[in-house]
Amino acid sequence: MEYAVAVDLYLADATLSAASRRVYRISLTSWAWALAGRPAPPSRERRGAVPPVLPLALLDDEVASRRLAAALRARAGHADAQTVSRELSALRSAVGWWQDMGWIRTDPTGSLRAGPRRDEPVTPLTEQQLGALFRIQASLREHALWHLLHDTGAAAPAVLQLDASALGPAGQPTSRAAATIGASRWSAGTSELLAWLLAGRRLGPVFLTERRAAARTPQADICPLTRQGRVSYRRAAEIFTNATRPLDPAGQGWTLHQLRPPRCVRLTA
């Protein structure tokens, strides 16, 4: 798989506006020079420059992380922190999708930081914001997940580990669900959404990807009926942020952590 082709396939699948897709393409194309061990052209020349041709599998090479880290440091010297953070976020989102597809095994962006980390208070969504969120057009899977996160205050990674066997026939919680997410109750409306989502399915992950799982996916993360895989936290977070960007006055989108009610919100990096 060529890197440029992988970028095209990721962008075709991503839930992005046309403008955001253009920005992501520019960012992802720029990282190709770093992976090839070459400096990217100056900003004014970069858009018209032809990026190096390289295999996506280069991301699995141990040299990839070092090259990306060096490029990140160089980029930080010529661009503001918000731009650098946005470009790194685009790469991380694409890498997560490529991992889900089984095209690469490792994540060379795991240790990268766009700047100094600091703890910042996370502001829970207001009732007005929640109302707007729950009215937007999104898949049944997303609405079921978002309602469940808000009702229970549970952490998203734990909720995404729920299996269909942990829910009752009408989407209500069981003791197994409580053990997984630390919550023993949620609203009748959320139960109804979960029941529709499962449609009688009693095995496999509750929240499934849209396609068959990659060959390397653990069996515990695959639905034995459809062979679809479990949705990753990274993918769920990306979908939520992209879906809420039009609702956010700052245009950045919200985070899944903000779905948790005020009593459950903690400081996050």
Q: Tens digits of per-residue pLDDT, 209-218?
A: 988 888 878 8
Question: What residue ranges of the chain have pLDDT lower than 70?
Answer: 42-48, 77-80, 114-122, 263-269
* Whole-number pLDDT of residue 118: 43
**SS3 of residue 163 by DSSP:** strand
Who contacts 140 (Cβ-Cβ below 8 Å, separation ≥6)? Answer: 193, 196, 197
Rounded Cα distance, 5 and 56, in Å? 9
For the chain, list the strands marked E by DSSP.
208-212, 228-230
* Whole-number pLDDT of residue 167: 94
* Whole-number pLDDT of residue 45: 62
Give the pTM: 0.62
**Long-range contacts from 251-259, C-beta under 8 angstroms, 24+ separation:** 254/125, 254/129, 254/133, 255/122, 256/149, 256/156, 257/122, 257/156, 258/122, 258/123, 258/124, 258/125, 259/124, 259/125, 259/146, 259/149, 259/150
Rounded Cα distance, 124 and 194, in Å? 23
Q: Residue 148 in contact with residue 177, Cβ under 8 Å? A: no
Rounded Cα distance, 240 and 139, in Å? 11
